Structure 1
Amino acid sequence: MLGNLFVHDKSPNYSEETIDILRLIRSENVGPKTFFHLIKLFGSAGKALENIGQFSVKGGRSKPITVFSRSEAEKEIDELKKVGAYLLTYKDFNYSSLLIQIHDFPPVLCYKGNITLLNSEKVIAIVGARNSSINSRSFASKIAKELVGEGYITVSGLARGIDTAVHEASVNSTIAVIAGGIDHIYPPENKGLFERIASNALLLAELPVGSKPLSQHFPQRNRIISGLALATVVVEASLKSGSLITANYALEQNREIFAVPGFPLDPRCMGTNKLIKDGAYLLESSADIISNMVTYDKLKKSLEETQNSSNNFKLPIGDNNLEIKDVDRQVVIRLLSSSPVTFELLSNETKLPLPVIYTICLELELAGRIARHVGNKISLIY
């Protein structure tokens, strides 16, 4: 993998490719899935940047989408430098080889601290309720300490409650994934913990420096927490908690789930009890994790095989010269609705080749007219 040269006592030497990757992911209407479809179509971030404006107009925009400029990218890098943080792209050898297997992995991460922790072969996510009970915090702390004693790295979200207990118990061997920019400490009472992790372990953020942690950012953050880990441990969680969202991401990512059982009438335990009913490992001690944990190499091989078999985005690399008629675009738009459908169904219905369907949908996505869903499905945005 090609990437950045990191010299931590000097300014990092970012490659042109890294600058282009940052510009593309920060451009209007470009999320992780769209980013990689653009890479597949155009072959590189640089080529994609040259074409996305035109593509968005073909998708129905009255004017091209806003492309993140080079000066804006350089400004973001300067802001990172001011807060002692660095940029990491999916092309860098330090990028997590487990995280890169999830279907919407972040092309760019910002970090502070020891980046070598990111590719540890023994990472366990531990999450739970913010308004947690004292017993659950004590148990989370105990589990974290015991796992670190066995050579594991913990990962959590630096939130109040369980997350805080986990990070404090493993402060030299932990990864904190935050929902805002790498410079935004939330909650504010974790300022000291934030600084200790930055000095001794690792802080990660997907959003640009200066971003505040909004409610919609937390689920986005949670997919990274589970994606970095061999397995996810849920200590306490209500039925509609962020911790259950993390557990659901872990299931989608083919990772194991461990859940701590709790008193049936406590709302904070209903989520974990449900996870156990649904097949999660019942967790009573760290031995339950260690004895049931799949090895890093075995999981990595399994994930790679799954990704290869499910990768049905069949557009050949660099095939951006397809003859597409406006009438074909209109036919596809008429068939779309708010109910998600597969690309294959659109191809069968329209008799258009899949590469044409993919390209039309990419144009529509850049124009902000469609949304992507799990299972390689799309729907129309009204």
Structure 2
Amino acid sequence: MEDAFDRLRLIRSANVGPVGFVQLLARFGSAGAAIAALPDLARRGGGRAPRLADAGAIEAELRRVEALGAQLLFLGSPDYPALLAQIDNPPPVLSYRGRRALMEARVVAMVGARNASASACRFARGLAAELGREGFAVVSGLARGIDTAAHAGSIEDGTIGIVAGGIDIHYPPENRDLQEAIAAQGLLIAEQPPGTEPRARHFPFRNRIIAGLALGTVVLEAAPRSGSLITARLAGEAGREVMAIPGSPLDPRSRGCNQLIRDGAILVQSAADIAEQLGPIDARAVRAPSQPFAPQPIDTEDGTRQRVQDLLSHDFVSVDELVRQSGEPPGAVQTVLLELELAGRLERGAGGRVRLA
């Protein structure tokens, strides 16, 4: 991609998130023009100009990616995975090592407890192997427990590991060999720059990639309020199938899965069950458009800006609700939100929701 340097600099600049990145490109046509417009947009949002990523740092990142044997993949590229591009906040850039073609395979996400039982890990390993024989690739997050078992079971036929930090950071440390094996035999993906140590805030971003790449997500052993249930929720919000393996009501690690089933997730017990659920939607989903939809941002007046700001609070609200209550065009509302975000005054959450920072 010709403007790869500018695109990477744009997303690495302060207060520019995945949604803002898409809207900036939609409005200004190129990353270079968007970078030039950032100071004025932030001023309109009531803040100082965001700190631009240092050009030297971007050059160093590009060199580091190459030295690691990795490649960058930008949103909008023909090779960008179609399913991932459909979510509300697709990653503007990914670094990857391994078999890029796995991004276009029929993919199933498998997630679950880090402190999983031995029997659940054995079941996950066997289920992942069966899914491989059914023609599916398995994506997971390289965490302890169920994730590790899922990768181990699917590495022969196709496994995708999503790391929360940089692509060169091994986390957890004991999965170093597994992570390198995935890069060599399967596909390893990271959104953060090389050298980034994973922090708590990075894991929900990782989870959205896991859910976004897959036709459906299977949960095995998950406590209530666990990261696995976040991944399941993100999958549901993206219109993907949510499936769960039932467990004993006496085991706290099964309560999350049982709750998912009670709330409408599909009960599955084998790879054949999963294939049956995903088969009818496979062709339709994989042929989906590869570009995310974003209302065209438009210039706004002070009155419009104030009306939208007055509707915001420190509680999350959907952008659709702001459009309804403000009576303003979607593009105008998106412009105000973008300005506030660039000014450091807005936080975006899952499902297209926003709140004051």
| Structure-2 change in CA distance of 1:69 and 1:201 (3 Å) | same
- What residue in structure 2 maps to residue 53 of structure 1? 39
Query: Where do 1:25-174 residues align within 5 Å?
Result: 25-61=11-47, 63-120=48-105, 122-172=106-156, 173-174=158-159
Residue matched to 2:263: 278
Distance (whole Å) between structure 2 residues aligned to residue 33 and residue 189 of structure 1 = 34
Structure 1 unaligned segments of length 5 or more: list them: 4-14
Decide whether the 8 Å contact of 1:125 with 1:225 is kept in 2: yes
Select 1:363's aligned residue among 339, 354, 357: 339
TM-fit CA distance, 1:375: 5.4
Which SS does the other structure have where 1:39 is aligned? helix
Distance 1:189 1:333, change over 3 A: same
Distance of 1:345 and 1:128 partners within structure 2: 33
Among 240, 248, 270, the residue aligned to 1:255? 240
Calculate percent identity across the aligned residue pairs: 45
1:221 partnered with 2:221: no
Q: How far is 1:203 from its partner?
A: 0.4
Of structures 1 and 2, the larger Rg is shown by: 1
Query: What is the alpha-carbon distance in structure 2 between the residues aligned to residue 361 and residue 273 of structure 1?
Result: 38
Q: CA RMSD in A?
A: 2.3
Cross-structure match for 1:265: 250
CA contact (8 A) 1:53 1:66 kept: no
- Of 198, 220, 238, the match for 2:183: 198
Shift of 1:370: 1.8
Residues 226, 247 of structure 1: 8 Å contact kept: yes
1:334 CA displacement? 3.9
Report the residue type matching 1:165 in the other structure.
A
Please report how far the alpha carbon of residue 258 of structure 1 lies from its aligned counterpart in structure 2 after TM superposition.
Answer: 1.6
Aligned to 2:164: 179
Determine the C-alpha separation between the residues in 1 that align with 2:82 and 2:175. 29
Secondary structure at the counterpart of residue 231 of structure 2: helix
Aligned residue number for residue 379 of structure 1: 355
Structure 2: distance between partners of 1:269 and 1:29:
38
Q: Decide whether aligned partners of structure 1 residues 67 and 142 sit closer, same or farther in structure 2, where only a CA change above 3 A counts.
A: same
Pair 1:330–1:163, CA change in 2 (3 A): same
Could you report, residue by residue, the CA deviation over 1:270-302 in whole angstroms, capped at 9, with x for unpaired residues?
Answer: 00111111122212211111122234222246x
Aligned CA distance change for structure 1 residues 165 and 32 (closer, same or farther; 3 Å): same
- Distance change >3 Å, CA 290–CA 81, structure 1 → 2: same
Q: Given the superposition, is the C-alpha separation of residues 229 and 367 from structure 1 closer, same or farther in structure 2, using an over 3 Å criterion?
A: same
Q: Distance in 1 between matches of 2:113 and 2:306?
A: 47
SS of equivalent residue, structure 2 residue 235: helix
Q: What secondary structure does 1:110 align onto?
A: strand
User: Distance in 1 between the 2:310 and 2:80 partners?
Assistant: 41
Secondary structure in 1 matching 2:314 = coil
Aligned equivalent of 1:324, options 294, 301, 306: 301
Structure 2 partner of 1:315: 296
Structure 2 unaligned blocks of 5 or more: none
Give, in angstroms, the shift of residue 379 of structure 1. 2.6
- Residue 133 of structure 1 deviates from its aligned partner by 0.6
- Residues 11 and 18 in structure 2, CA contact (< 8 A), matched pair in contact too: yes
Distance in 1, Cα, partners of 2:245 & 2:347: 36
Residue aligning to 1:11: none
Shift of 1:324: 3.1
1:138 to partner: Cα distance: 0.7
- In the alignment, is the contact (CA less than 8 A) between 2:300 and 2:335 conserved in 1? no
Structure 1 residues 289 and 363, CA, compared in 2 at 3 Å: closer, same or farther?
same
In structure 2, distance between residues paired with 1:53 and 1:47:
12
Residue 37 of structure 1 deviates from its aligned partner by 1.3
Q: What is the CA–CA distance in structure 2 between the aligned matches of 1:166 and 1:244, rounded to whole Å?
A: 17
C-alpha distance in 1 between matches for 2:319 and 2:268: 41
Question: Which stretch shifts more, 351-360 or 285-294?
Answer: 351-360
More relative contact order, 1 or 2 (CA 8 Å, 6+ apart): 2
Count of aligned pairs between the two proteins: 355
- Three-state SS of the structure 1 residue aligned to 2:313 is coil
* In structure 1, distance between residues paired with 2:117 and 2:181: 25
Q: Distance in 2 between matches of 1:57 and 1:222?
A: 33
Cα drift, residue 336 of structure 1: 2.9
Distance 1:345 1:83, change over 3 A: closer
How big is the shift at 1:332?
4.1
Cα deviation, 1:289-321, whole Å, max 9, x if unaligned, reads 1122234222246x659x99xx5x5336xx5xx
**Contact residue 90 and residue 107 of structure 1 kept, 8 A:** yes
CA change 1:65–1:314 in 2 (3 A) is: same
CA contact (8 A) 2:82 2:289 kept: no
Q: What do the CA deviations read for 1:305-358 (whole angstroms, capped 9, x no partner)?
A: 9x99xx5x5336xx5xx3634x65445434432244555665676666554443
Aligned counterparts of 2:326 and 2:130: Cα–Cα separation in 1: 58
**Matched residue of 1:177: which SS?**
strand
Aligned pair in 2 of structure 1 residues 330, 297: CA closer, same or farther (>3 Å)?
same
**How much does 1:369 deviate?**
1.0
Change (3 A) 1:250 1:346: closer
